[in-house]
Amino acid sequence: MQSHTKTKQTKLLSVIGDEDTVCGFLLAGIGEVSQNKETNYFIVKKDTPVSAIEETFKRFTSREDIAVVIINQFVAEKIRELVHSYRAPIPAVLEIPSKDQPYDLSQDSTVKRVRQMLGLGA
Amino acid sequence: MASSGGGGGDRLQVVPSRMTLTQIKGRLSGANKGHSMLKKKSDALTVRLRSILKQVLERKNQSGDLCREALISLAVAKYIVGEEFKVHILENVDKSSLKVSFHSENIAGVTIPLFDKVSMDQDSTEEYEKDTNDGGGVSNQGLSNHQFHSFVSLSGLSKGGQQIATCSENFRKAADNLISLAELQTCFTLLDEAVKVTNRRVNALENVVIPRLENTVAYIISELDELEREEFFRLKLVQNWKERESKSAQEERERLERTSQGFSSFESVPQRVVDGLTLNEEDSDIIF
């Protein structure tokens, strides 16, 4: 019942988060700047408006060449509604802890859904 | 069409005949087969989904820890090298060296993309991004001389280069973990959707399509039965009628024969006129 097909297409990872998180992942080598100066990372500073985060999230999740959106939990918290209503399989949205905000796994949209399903199924 | 047919309830609007009965029965058995197959599919998907659910939670915890670790190493690197190295990193972004490619897997008819990590070594601006995680680990020995010098030149401190290497390594690990987590999450989302759709179909078949077909079959059968009963009754009626007819004809003939023995033949003419039914036999008798 299982078949494998290889596709040559490669996609990027993208980050939305505070400066340190973004820096770290850039250090790991996920950053890419396209020819028209479009980046696959977005640094959220203290004074970054929520609308800008929302706009970036929407842009990243609708980009064809992005497979994973890594987002700091505190950033995701700011646009929780948007993240929670996001259901498409690709790109996958992953929430990760940030340096100076406490990390609460149970706030994660996916974890919430998983918990809900396990709770319903049990 | 009268709704007095069998089964009551919801049924298809069909003409009750033997042919439609066979058609509907065929559809019913098809629906039953489809139902059992979809049920199996749904079960297979659910099994897979459940195993993924657990993995997702595990991976989430794990990736949280890895990210924290990576952030701590970044803080250490920052402390040793100084804040400005972040500026270097941010300025030197060009082409991604860590990407994902896909291959797809088929689970009970649902195509699921699996992510593969693709590391691209490139000798461009970010040499410290080279894939350092092939066994060598964090230590200097794991890095090529060239790379090590690039760290040193970047930081101006030999210790700092090492810290940046550690940091890079940790973030790479975190990214790897996140890629596999993303794979699981994609899997989860797709399977969740597929299970929902399949269950919806199973339920639709179970609660709507199959009962409707069953009702239709029952309706057609009862309708055919009724037709048969009617037919039977009509046959009986005709039979009775014919019997009675032939009996009365017989009696008539006998009576005529008896009377014709005593009386002359023309005296029975008024009788013939009165009873038209006996006329033919009377005639043939006369001809005889």
pLDDT tens string, chain B, 288 residues long: the values are 444 444 457 888 888 888 999 999 999 999 999 999 999 989 988 888 888 888 888 888 888 888 888 888 888 777 777 777 777 777 777 777 777 777 777 777 777 777 777 776 544 334 443 333 333 333 333 444 444 445 444 544 455 567 777 777 888 888 888 888 888 888 888 888 888 899 999 999 999 899 999 999 999 999 999 999 999 999 999 999 999 999 999 998 998 888 877 665 555 555 555 555 555 555 555 555
CA-based radius of gyration for chain B: 47
Q: Which residues of B touch A120 (CB under 8 A)?
A: none
How many angstroms separate the CA atoms of B195 and B200, rounded?
8
pLDDT at B32: 93
How many angstroms separate the CA atoms of B217 and B248, rounded?
46
pLDDT at B121: 57
**Segment 86-115 of chain A within 8 Å of chain B by CB:** 87-94, 96-99, 103, 105, 108, 110-111, 113-114
Q: Which residues of A touch B50 (CB under 8 A)?
A: 121
Q: What phi, psi does A101 have (nearest 5°)?
A: -115, 140
CA nearest to B12, candidates B4, B22, B26, B24: B24
Yes or no, beta carbons of A27 and B107 under 8 Å apart:
no
Provide DSSP, B10-25: S------SHHHHHHHH
**Segment 2-21 of chain A within 8 Å of chain B by CB:** 2-13, 19-21
Helices A109-121, B18-81: axis angle to 10 degrees equals: 140
Fold classification of A12-117 is: Rossmann fold (3.40.50)
Three-state DSSP at B116 gives strand
Q: Nearest CA to CA, how far is B208 from chain A (Å)? A: 25
Yes or no, beta carbons of B100 and A11 under 8 Å apart:
yes
Q: Which residues of A touch B101 (CB under 8 A)?
A: 7-11
Question: Among the ranges A73-87, A91-105, B147-161, which has the highest mean pLDDT value?
Answer: A73-87
Yes or no, beta carbons of A20 and B75 under 8 Å apart:
yes
Of A2, A24, A103, the CB nearest to B106: A2
Yes or no, beta carbons of B89 and A7 under 8 Å apart:
no
pLDDT at A89: 78
Q: Which residues of A touch B103 (CB under 8 A)?
A: 4-7
pLDDT digits (tens, 9 = 90+) for A3-30: 444 445 777 788 888 888 887 788 777 7
Mean pLDDT of chain A: 77
CB B129 within 8 A of CB B89: no
- For B18, other C-beta atoms within 10 Å of its C-beta total 9
Retrieve residue B163's tokens: 């810290």
pLDDT at A5: 46
Yes or no, beta carbons of B172 and A20 under 8 Å apart:
no
Retrieve residue B276's tokens: 């038209």
**Segment 27-86 of chain A within 8 Å of chain B by CB:** 27-33, 39-41, 67-68, 70
* Cα dihedral across residues B197, B203, B208, B212: positive or negative: positive
